[in-house]
Chain A
């Protein structure tokens, strides 16, 4: 087992599935990078290099560059999935869903239901999310709550290289449309990742540590922040459970409720906007089903109800961090 980055883990997952199943194809803007030019044909491997090298192994019939036409090529992924392929399409930045959302939420998500259970649409849409790149309001959003809202979609938010590989392989093998959210700040994070193929089931939360005083539920990049906060609080004698749901749809509500029953306190950490968010969703579920176990008010640590700013000082203030989580845990214990 070797150390691999979040980027390498995702790349390896896709490559292993492409070797296993010839119906797995990859396409998106610059997914090879260089088509039609006189230079390198595999110049980019996606704008941040996640699909680098796939063209060389699998060729241009299975790794396709696209025009900048998200409606057409995301829609084509839906149509291809419904007719026998298993596309892994890249919607580069999640913010771009605005130009192709119909094909995701009215088409892919609803085929099976509207067609009376007779459609199978095994589609993976990979997309990058999150602040921290100084990329401002249209390249930095955390939009998985909007996809989580839609019945028919599965939404995956891996928080580590190990999880990213296992969840990606699961997503490619899954027969429902999956939206796979990759945090762009985490691409160079490294950890031990097995070389062999493995899957992580959807809807099974990872309880990263168990404590007695409060439960912190965190998503994606925020899982790392929650761990830092828990480490800091441990030194003060406050012990926290940290739960990473891994997927927001399906959501492992059982594990979340069990942890809150044990600790009596809940802090939810999400990089997304606060309204109609994963933070508000988890808070609502706990308030409905574990109210009597609560010993203090639920705390939400999220971005503010504002677009992601450009200035580094403003952006750093915008994103949740370990200090804010620590403060929230103290608030619920107060």
Chain B
């Protein structure tokens, strides 16, 4: 599918927003202001944006503990997300969810998730809703190489195929389930797993936005037109550890620097579009400046924003009780 200049700018801007959000959260977390567990998505932006640039509000995604990128790519408000990370009352979830539970159901974002492998069953349900109501919507489950080994995920492959659901399973393979390498923990090949369930599948270079977008586009189109589920195996790398504070001693010396130098999806995107004459460095530089200013403003506000009222401690447990 041909992308016009506006689409390209938007995709770059979204990827840049994720990157700056994560890089700045990394810095601020180190200063001790952000409570709890934070898992950063920096380095993987081309996957979330490559897939979600096809999606609309009628489409639903489920994410993981490493969810900020998917949230931003699906349209969650970055200001409210940052407030949520700081546990503030005006956060996207009122300060009750935090990094691992950011959700915006109206935008089709069914939640980051603290449980590895929880998303695929949920997304089968969202897909059934779309199929039954004939909305033409699709549902996308993002999970990692770690999540690919959960029984919930494999059960969902089966159910999605048995019910012919409009699902795309996106395995974001960053090489590590926490600190354990996928070369150790994943038996067989992700694509063979899909074949075993009769699902079409493809493997793409997750540092290449255009490769992800093209492969995802085919699968989403197939799902929208009743062709059932597919699996996309995205090979990518994370810049940071499993969680913030992870010293990453399990990674090879120089591994992350090499990724930052040679496999940075934003640099690869920039090179591609400027060399093809589609966008100019000036246009992209302006996005860089604007996005960083926006993220910094989000952080400045979040640092001093009010915590949730203590009266909300037991609200929204139920709708009625």
Q: Which of B95, B122, B158, B162 contacts A79 (CB 8 A)?
A: B122
For the complex, give the distance between the alpha carbons of A82 and B105 in Å.
Answer: 8
* Further pairs besides A75-B121, A250-B321: 8, Cβ < 8 Å: A67-B158, A69-B159, A103-B121, A113-B317, A115-B97, A115-B101, A116-B97, A118-B103
Interface contact A103-B105, CB-CB below 8 Å: no
Flag whether A327 is at the interface (Cβ < 8 A).
no
Q: Is B253 an interface residue (CB 8 A)?
A: no
Residues 60-114 (chain A) with a chain B CB within 8 angstroms: 61-62, 64, 66-67, 69, 71-85, 87, 102-103, 106-107, 110-114
Chain B residues, CB < 8 A from A72: 120-121, 124, 152, 155-156, 158-159
Can you give 30 contacting A-B residue pairs, CB < 8 Å? Answer: A62-B132, A67-B159, A69-B158, A72-B121, A72-B156, A73-B121, A75-B118, A75-B124, A75-B125, A76-B125, A76-B156, A76-B159, A79-B121, A79-B123, A80-B128, A83-B130, A85-B128, A85-B129, A107-B118, A113-B316, A114-B96, A114-B101, A114-B111, A116-B94, A116-B97, A117-B94, A152-B317, A154-B321, A176-B318, A203-B321
Q: Tell whether A232 is near chain B: CB-to-CB under 8 Å.
A: no
Identify the closest chain B residue to A80 (Cβ).
B125
Which residue of A has the minimal Cβ distance to B112?
Answer: A114
Question: Is A296 engaged at the interface, CB distance under 8 Å to the other chain?
Answer: no
> Within 8 Å of chain B (Cβ to Cβ): is A119?
yes
With A75-B121, A106-B115, A114-B96 already in contact, the answer to whether A80 and B126 are too (CB < 8 A) is yes
B interface, CB within 8 angstroms of A: 60, 62, 91-97, 101, 103-106, 110-111, 113-115, 118, 120-130, 132-133, 139, 151-152, 155-156, 158-159, 162-163, 315-321
Interface contact B124-A117, CB-CB below 8 Å: no
Min distance, Cβ A115 to any Cβ of chain B, angstroms: 4
A-side interface residues toward B, CB under 8 Å? 25, 61-62, 64, 66-67, 69, 71-85, 87, 102-103, 106-107, 110-120, 151-152, 154, 174-176, 203, 250
From A79, A110, A119, A175, B125 is in contact (CB under 8 Å) with A79
* Total A-B pairs, Cβ < 8 A: 156
**Complex: A152 Cα to B320 Cα, angstroms:** 10
Q: What chain A residues lie within 8 Å of B92 (beta carbons)?
A: 116
Which of B91, B122, B133 lies at the interface centre, i.e. has the most chain A CB atoms within 10 A of its CB? B122
Q: Which residues on A sit within 8 Å (CB–CB) of B101?
A: 110, 114-115
When C-beta atoms are compared, the residue in chain B nearest to A81 turns out to be B125
Count chain A CB atoms within 10 A of each CB in B103, B318, B319 and give the residue with the most: B318
Q: Is the CB of B316 within 8 A of A83?
A: no
Shortest distance in angstroms between B209's beta carbon and chain A's nearest beta carbon? 28
Which of chain B's residues have a CB closer than 8 A to the CB of A87? 125
> Nearest chain A CB to B115's CB is how many angstroms away?
5
Measured CA separation A83–B130 after assembly (Å): 8
Interchain CB contact (< 8 A) of B126 among A79, A107, A250: A79
> In whole angstroms, what is the CA distance A69 to B122 when docked?
13
Contact A75 B122 (CB under 8 A): yes
Q: Which residues of B contact A61 (CB under 8 A)?
A: 132
Tell me whether B111 and A115 are in contact (CB under 8 A): yes
Q: Is the beta-carbon distance between B124 and A175 smaller than 8 angstroms?
A: no
Q: List, in ascending order, chain B residues with CB within 8 A of A80's CB.
A: 125-126, 128-129
Known: A76-B159, A80-B129, A175-B320. A71 touches B97 (CB 8 A): no
CB-nearest residue of chain A to B121: A75
* Measured CA separation A224–B30 after assembly (Å): 61
Q: Is the CB of A84 within 8 A of B152?
A: no
A117 to B128, Cβ gap below 8 A? no
